[in-house]
Amino acid sequence: MEYIRKMVVCLICFAVMATVICIRINAAEPAGEIVTNAKASILIEADSGRVLYSKNPDRRLQMASTTKIMSAILTIESGDLDKPFEVDSEAIKVEGSSMGLLEGDTVTKRALCYGMLLPSGNDAANAAAVAVSGSVEAFVEKMNAKAKELSLGATHFVTPSGLDDFTDGHYSTASDMAKLTAYAIKNETFKSICSAQSISLDLGGRSVWLNNTNKLLKTCEGVFGVKTGFTDKAGRCLISACERGGITLICVTLGDSTDWIDHEKLIEYGYSRLERVELGGESFKVDMAGGDLKAELYSSDICVTLEKGEAERIEKRVIIPQFVYENERGKSVGKVIYYLDGGVIAISELKVR
């Protein structure tokens, strides 16, 4: 009997412990909530900037080679992308990841952008800095000026590459990096380069084969970029952009040991919340000046990205003239303004048919 009593007590204790363990596991990741391992992260809808998920989005952290998003877009915006020149022999003497530049190589700015955005070449970033601004230091000033222009108030650059082992002054936030990425992917050249899985480049007598370090290009539907990053200080950093059904999402994680998994999880979560809603197609009749004829005012269809269920709350305001003139056919004479919860979400021009 004593043996049976002890067995019963042990079984009860085991059941209680198992219950406690289950409760703790469930408490760590409640059903329906997203949990990431990132120190900071954010998921936004690119066109509107709407935040769909965030965790410490304004915390200042090192961002490693995601820095090269800024370096690449500045290089692209400087122009003359296909003009050959010899790389600066001192600029390419840099540690870390490389596109394999050697002294005497002939490159173009476009090639250096591939070198920055695919294998994350620190040599490419430095060479581009010198090519654009004459020196790395002058280019960094340009980076910080651009950050100010884009209202990236919590971002400061020290290097074009993202190397940060010698400084604590190179930092950004998940929120700022999402804004920077939203700006950069509007440039078709940037978008085309960061979406390439691999490329062969001629460096003036020899060729190099570059592979993209972003494996989400192959594993996650719709992903077309943007940049990986790692340093000992920053940890693993990743910025991805994904386009499905006319909706573009941008995901940023800083200091995330499970970044690939977290990005796929966040991207799927984002698309589960959003939908494309068609507005427009409005038609109105107004008087034609100088007679009894009527003119038709019409608006073209436009699409907006909304969270599911928001379309039911859309309101509109129509602004049209009392009459129009014959010579106004084909011209815009009015508008339809669409509101969601008091804020303007779209404006459709009304033209005379």
pLDDT of residue 74: 98
CB-CB contact of 81 with 73 (8 Å): no
Tokens representing residue 305 in the block: 């990205």
Residue 318 in this model has a pLDDT that exceeds 50 = yes
Cβ count near 141 (within 10 Å): 13
H, E, C per residue of the chain: CHHHHHHHHHHHHHHHHHHHHHHHHHHHCCCCCCCCCCCEEEEEECCCCCEEEEECCCCCECCHHHHHHHHHHHHHHCCCCCCCEECCCCCCCCCCCCCCCCCCCEECHHHHHHHHHCCCCHHHHHHHHHHHHCCHHHHHHHHHHHHHHCCCCCCECCCCCCCCCCCCCCEECHHHHHHHHHHHCCCHHHHHHHCCCEEEEECCCCEEEEECCCCHHHHCCCEEEEEEEEECCCEEEEEEEEEECCEEEEEEEECCCCHHHHHHHHHHHHHHHEEEEEECCCEEEEEECCCCCEEEEEECCEEEEEECCHHHHEEEEEECCCEECHHHECCEEEEEEEEECCEEEEEEEEEEC
The sign one gets for the Cα dihedral 63, 67, 70, 76 is negative
pLDDT of residue 32: 53
Residue 224 CA to residue 248 CA, distance in Å, equals: 10
pLDDT of residue 292: 83
Tokens representing residue 9 in the block: 């007590």
Q: What is the mean pLDDT of residues 225-231?
A: 98
Residue 246 in this model has a pLDDT that exceeds 70 = yes
Structure confidence at residue 7 as a pLDDT band (50, 70, 90): very low
Share of residues in the chain with pLDDT > 90 (%) = 87
| pTM to 2 decimal places | 0.87
pLDDT of residue 131: 98
Tokens representing residue 258 in the block: 């499970």
Q: What is the mean pLDDT of residues 181-194?
A: 98
Residue 286 in this model has a pLDDT that exceeds 50 = yes
More confident residue, 24 or 44: 44
Residue among 343, 344, 345, 320 nearest 333 (CA): 320
Q: What is the mean pLDDT of residues 218-241?
A: 98
Residue among 289, 284, 297 nearest 350 (CA): 297
pLDDT of residue 207: 95
Residue 240 CA to residue 45 CA, distance in Å, equals: 12
Asked about 78 being catalytic, the answer comes back as: no
Q: What is the mean pLDDT of residues 316-324?
A: 95
Distances (CA, A) of 219 to 104, 216, 225: 38, 5, 12
DSSP lists the bridge partners of residue 297 as 284, 352
Distances (CA, A) of 191 to 184, 186, 188, 262, 349: 8, 7, 5, 22, 30
CB-CB contact of 301 with 281 (8 Å): yes
Asked about 39 being catalytic, the answer comes back as: no
Asked about 83 being catalytic, the answer comes back as: no
CB-CB contact of 171 with 177 (8 Å): no
Residue with tokens 């084909």: 330
pLDDT of residue 184: 98
Q: Which fold has domain 40-274?
A: Beta-lactamase (3.40.710)
Residue 291 in this model has a pLDDT that exceeds 70 = yes
User: What phi and psi values does residue 28 have, to the nearest 5 degrees?
Assistant: -70, -30
pLDDT of residue 279: 92
Structure confidence at residue 14 as a pLDDT band (50, 70, 90): very low
pLDDT tens track for 143-181: 999 999 999 999 999 999 999 999 999 999 999 999 999
pLDDT of residue 6: 40
CB-CB contact of 127 with 107 (8 Å): yes
Architecture of domain 280-352: Sandwich (2.60)
- The active-site residue out of 68, 142, 146, 179 is 68
pLDDT tens track for 20-43: 333 232 223 333 578 999 999 999
Q: List Cβ neighbours of 76 (8 Å cut-off, separation of 6 or more).
A: 109, 113, 187, 189, 190
How much is the mean pLDDT over the chain?
Answer: 91
Ordered by start, the domain boundaries in the chain are: 40-274, 280-352
Residue 108 in this model has a pLDDT that exceeds 80 = yes
pLDDT of residue 293: 87
pLDDT of residue 120: 98
Residue 304 in this model has a pLDDT that exceeds 80 = yes
pLDDT tens track for 59-94: 999 999 999 999 999 999 999 999 999 999 999 999
- The active-site residue out of 41, 71, 97, 120 is 120
